[in-house]
Amino acid sequence: MKKQLAAFLIIPLVFALFAGCNGASGGTVTPSPTEMPSAVEMPSFTETSSPTETSVSSESEAVLQSADILVVFFSHSGNTRTLAQYVHDIVGGDMFEIVAVEPYPENMNECVARATAELADNARPSLASSVEDMGKYAAVYIGYPIWCGNEPMVIRSFLEAYDFTGKTIYPFCTSGSSTNDLAVKSIRSICPAANVADGLTVTRTQLPKTQEMAAAWLDGLKSP
Ligand SMILES: Cc1cc2nc3c(=O)[nH]c(=O)nc-3n(C[C@H](O)[C@H](O)[C@H](O)COP(=O)(O)O)c2cc1C
């Protein structure tokens, strides 16, 4: 009885949380209880380099060396960090965490409010650090949570900070239930001179399969 009462109270609350996102431009949001982020404990890092050489095969049989690969991610509650770590385990290369100068609130309501305002304002939040030599990377794997149906605006700040001409961008995301479609479209429009591969989405119910999904996505990637 207590459980039923709790569900009764919590479900409308979650719907109300993402209602703000619905009003923002550029994204269709399907609010559901599965959209609540969950914390995943992972070690924190900003930039690391993998000494092992790995290769990524594309349709054109091009082989990338580890030195050509950058795995970038932004994560608020840890899910995308976990996914990025699995991607990095497979493709190798360097790793870089996108961090906003002004940290996003841990409180869910406050974070949704800020994300909603940033999307509505088409904001470009300042980034706390930068990639040392983006020029040396041929492939950039970029991961983010879906916020308000889109990629968080810090991802746009990041994409606009570098020249991606001729590079291949591989977008991956985690979400409550939304797809990566709007984010991938946005990345293609911000980086028109890059090849942007079809993205991966891992939704909340799929989180236990994050590792397998990362491996299957990387396995199935074709040159865009
Ligand atoms: C501000 C905010 C907005 C969100 N908007 C959406 C959304 O529009 N659609 C969705 O499916 N999930 C949404 N979510 C849920 C996150 O995408 C999901 O929990 C994701 O796995 C969090 O990744 P992270 O742990 O790497 O931060 C939102 C979460 C937050 C904090």
Q: What distance in Å separates the CA atoms of residue 125 and residue 61, rounded to the nearest whole number?
A: 38
* 76 vs 35 pLDDT, higher one: 76
Once rounded to an integer, what is the mean pLDDT over residues 2-15?
45
Q: 34 in a domain, yes or no?
A: no
Once rounded to an integer, what is the mean pLDDT over residues 180-204?
98
CA of 54 from ligand 1 middle (Å) equals 31
Question: Which of 71, 73, 77 is the best mutation target for the ligand 1 pocket, counting ligand atoms within 8 Å of the beta carbon and taking the most?
Answer: 77
Q: 84 in a domain, yes or no?
A: yes
Q: 37 in a domain, yes or no?
A: no
Q: 207 in a domain, yes or no?
A: yes
pLDDT digits (tens, 9 = 90+) for 22-53: 543 333 333 333 344 433 333 333 333 333 33
For residue 132, the cross-strand partners are none
* 70 vs 222 pLDDT, higher one: 70
Total domains, the chain? 1
pLDDT digits (tens, 9 = 90+) for 149-167: 999 999 999 999 999 999 9
pLDDT of 61 higher than 70? no
- By residue range, what is the domain housing residue 141? 2-29+44-220
Q: 36 in a domain, yes or no?
A: no
Q: Which residues have C-beta within 8 Å of that of residue 106, sequence separation ≥ 6?
A: none
Take atom 29 of ligand 1 and give the residue whose Cα is closest: 147
Q: Which ligand 1 atom sits closest to the C-alpha of 82? A: 26
Q: 150 in a domain, yes or no?
A: yes
pLDDT of 114 higher than 50? yes
- pLDDT at position 35 is 42
Please check whether residue 169 is in contact with residue 192, taking contact to mean a CB–CB distance below 8 angstroms: no
CA of 212 from ligand 1 middle (Å) equals 21
Helix axes 2-23, 108-120, angle to 10 degrees: 20
CATH number, residue 64: 3.40.50.360
CA of 146 from ligand 1 middle (Å) equals 5
Q: 35 in a domain, yes or no?
A: no
pLDDT of 7 higher than 50? no
Q: What distance in Å separates the CA atoms of residue 67 and residue 94, rounded to the nearest whole number?
A: 7
